[in-house]
Amino acid sequence: MVIQDGINGWTFDSDYGDFRNRIFWCATHVDELRSMRLKCVEISHLHSWSAYQARAIEIVINASHY
């Protein structure tokens, strides 16, 4: 799973109240939010289009050896 709730991002219900609570949490947990941001950036590099392209090429090369 790419998004780990509370670690590198959030998942939330589709209602306004849950979203609002996350926004208020940001205002009162600045240090935790900064930590989440760093983890979010790390995971985004692993799932970027460049990473996807490199993995796809690797799969094709490995498949051609069979």
Average pLDDT across the chain, whole number: 86
Domain tally, the chain: 1
Tokens 């094709």 found at: 60
Question: Is the pLDDT at 1 greater than 80, yes or no?
Answer: no
How many Cβ atoms are within 10 Å of 36's Cβ, its own excluded?
Answer: 18
**For residues 47 and 2, is the Cβ–Cβ distance under 8 A?**
yes
Q: What is the mean pLDDT of residues 33-42?
A: 88
Q: Is residue 21 assigned to a domain? A: yes
> Domain range holding 46?
16-64
Q: Is residue 2 assigned to a domain? A: no
**Residue 31: band (very low, low, confident or very high) from pLDDT cuts 50, 70, 90:** very high
What's the token pair of residue 15?
């209602």
Question: Is the pLDDT at 62 greater than 90, yes or no?
Answer: no
